[in-house]
Structure formats: structure tokens, C-alpha cells
Amino acid sequence: MTPDKEDTLPDKIPTHIGIIMDGNGRWALARGLPRMAGHRAGTENLRRIIEACIEFGIKYLTIYAFSTENWGRPSTEVQGLMRIFENVIDNEFQELNDQGVRLRHIGRLDRLRPSFRKKVLEAIELTRNNDRLILNIAFNYGGRDEIVCAIQALIRDGVKVDDVTDNLVSQYLFTAGVPDPDMIIRTSGELRGSNFLIWQGAYSEWYFPATFWPDFDRQELLKAIEEFSQRERRYGLTTKQAKQKKHHAP
């Protein structure tokens, strides 16, 4: 699939996009619907955004599906979300596999029902050789928890203090082997990072559209990519230094 003729993709396309899919509940309430209707609409929208990422040549997509803090929501909502997520595995997995999507999980699976956890692990294994789009699902995930887990693993492995580097820590994160996100999008207009990819997003370009997640469609994603293409990423350098570094990059 290629972009529509009327669309002109920028020359600079992010390799990795992270998305905080926010606003499902407010989308539903604005329409007089129950919150779960918003979550279902948000799940349906994810399919469209995955297809758009493939179309636009995005190689990595990380979605914030369920945080470690979300367990504190009303039990009926948590249970409803679990049913929706399990239905996604049951109903969407084969199509994702056919599209060449590789599923990865970041976070913890220990609080899922054994049957659901088994389905997730099977989907991860069956798609492990796909490479058209790497879809990281942050489920029961928290950025602080991820860093704590990395520190604990470093200690268990007996890593010496002087051997700890940025690159080594990255290898101990849930996202090991995945490049840091070039851009992180949070829909609904909220201006918070909410414990998402704290380490990995240190130099990400953030984008905060007011659009609720169920309405964040292909054109909205294209607008985000266009915005990204206009930004100058200096990584703490001056504009002149950044341009020189880019010019001399292999």
C-alpha cells in the first residue's frame, strides 16, 4: 500500500512512533455513551492506525495500552478492558500476522489470567519473524517500573558500577533491541508523559493533538508526521553543530 496520490509524505519519516492513546472515555461521554463504548471505539481505531503506519513506512509503533496505574480504575472498567484486549488477540491476530506485523509485549504479564497470558505469548512467538511493522504493546507497563526492573537485573547479573552505561541500561529495558522513539504522540490534548517510555523518550519529539484517540485517524497521523518533519533535532547541540554532525554521519 502506498499513500494516496493527494498525499505527499515528507522526506523525514520517524522510524519509531510511540502513542499514548488517550481520550476514549471522554469521547464516549461526549456522545452520551458508556466509557466502555469509547474503549471499544479506540480499539477499532488502532487497526486503522496500524494500517496507516505500514502505509507510511513506519517501522516501529509502541502503543500505551494499559499502565501499571490503570489497575486502580473501577473493577468493572478493568474487567471490561481485559475482555476487549483478549478479543483483540482472538479476532485481530491473524490479520496482523498476514500484514507482516510482529507483536511484542513490554511490561509485565503476571497479573493476566493464565489463559489470556498464554494467548499473548503464542501471538508473540508466531509473529516473531515478521518485520513489516514491529508493534510494541505496553500492557501492564510503567516507565518507572521498567527502570527498577532493569536495575534489579543489572544487580543480579553482577554488573560492576563502572561498567554501567547508557547503552548497557538500554539493553536491560523491556524495549531492548528497539530504537528509541523519534516521536511520541498523546491524543486528547493532555500535556503529560504519564510514565510512558521515560528512558527511551528522553530525546523524542512530543506531539499533543486535541483529538480524542477514537477520532485520531490516518490524516491526523499524517499531520503528526508532517509536524515531525519540520522539527530540528539537536540532542543538546547548537543548530550548527547538529547540521555538521548530520552532514558527517555515515
Q: Is pLDDT at 5 greater than 60 in this prediction?
A: no
Q: Is residue 8 part of a domain?
A: no
Q: Is residue 202 part of a domain?
A: yes
Q: Is residue 226 part of a domain?
A: yes
Mean pLDDT of all residues in 168-172? 98
Q: Is residue 173 part of a domain?
A: yes
Query: Three-class SS of residue 158?
Result: coil
| pTM of the predicted model as reported, rounded to 2 decimal places | 0.91
Chain-centre distance of CA 250, in angstroms? Answer: 28
Per-residue pLDDT tens over the stretch 82-137 = 999 999 999 999 999 999 999 999 999 998 999 999 999 999 999 999 999 999 99
Q: Is residue 2 part of a domain?
A: no
Single out the catalytic residue among 4, 70, 90, 140: 70
Tell me, what's the pLDDT at 246?
62
Per-residue pLDDT tens over the stretch 58-82 = 999 999 999 999 999 999 999 999 9
Tell me, what's the pLDDT at 184?
98
CB count within 10 Å of CB 242 equals: 15
Q: Is residue 6 part of a domain?
A: no
Q: E strand or H helix at 145, and its extent?
A: helix 143-156
Q: Is pLDDT at 4 greater than 80 in this prediction?
A: no
Q: Is pLDDT at 6 greater than 60 in this prediction?
A: no
Tell me, what's the pLDDT at 233?
74
Q: How many domains does the chain have?
A: 1
CA distance linking residue 202 with residue 194, whole number of Å: 14
Residue 126: CATH number of its domain: 3.40.1180.10
Domain limits for position 165: 16-248
Tell me, what's the pLDDT at 182?
98
Please write down the HEC assignment for all residues of 219-250: HHHHHHHHHHHHCCCCCCCCHHHHHHHHHHCC
Tell me, what's the pLDDT at 241?
61
Catalytic site residue 70? Answer: yes
Q: Is residue 5 part of a domain?
A: no
Q: Is residue 212 part of a domain?
A: yes
Tell me, what's the pLDDT at 18?
98
Single out the catalytic residue among 4, 7, 11, 22: 22
Mean pLDDT of all residues in 203-225? 98
